Amino acid sequence: MIGLILSALSACSGSCLKSRTAQIRKLLDRELKVGDPREKVEKVLNSAGIAHEYDRFQNRDQATVTDARCGPYDAISIYVNFDSAGKMAKWEVFESHTAP
């Protein structure tokens, strides 16, 4: 029963973030290319109002985007990975859900 409830909640909340997730993916796809310097990645994220931080251990910029209307347990995770020269290697955007 609890699994069914959590599954239903997850399905509802997923649609809440779907539009914003698509917007972020389109932005990154349009503005960033493999090989772009870290400074450009930071400029794109900053211009979009996406608070982010650089994780030197993972060699990536990362961000978590939330929306109060979607509840406290749903978010969009953004990872922009860099190669050893500090150039963008790839980016990932996905919706995440944590249980209360």
User: pLDDT tier at 100 (50, 70, 90 boundaries)?
Assistant: confident
| pLDDT at residue 13 is higher than 50 | no
Provide the whole-model pTM: 0.82
Q: For the segment 55-84, what is each residue's pLDDT rounded down to a tens digit?
A: 999 999 999 999 999 988 999 999 999 999
* pLDDT digits 0-9 by tens, 29-58: 999 999 999 999 999 999 999 999 999 999
Name the domain count of the chain: 1
Domain span at residue 41 reads 2-97
- Using H for helix, E for strand and C for coil, what is the string for 2-44? HHHHHHHHHHHHHHHHHHHHHHHHHHHHHHCCCCCEHHHHHHH
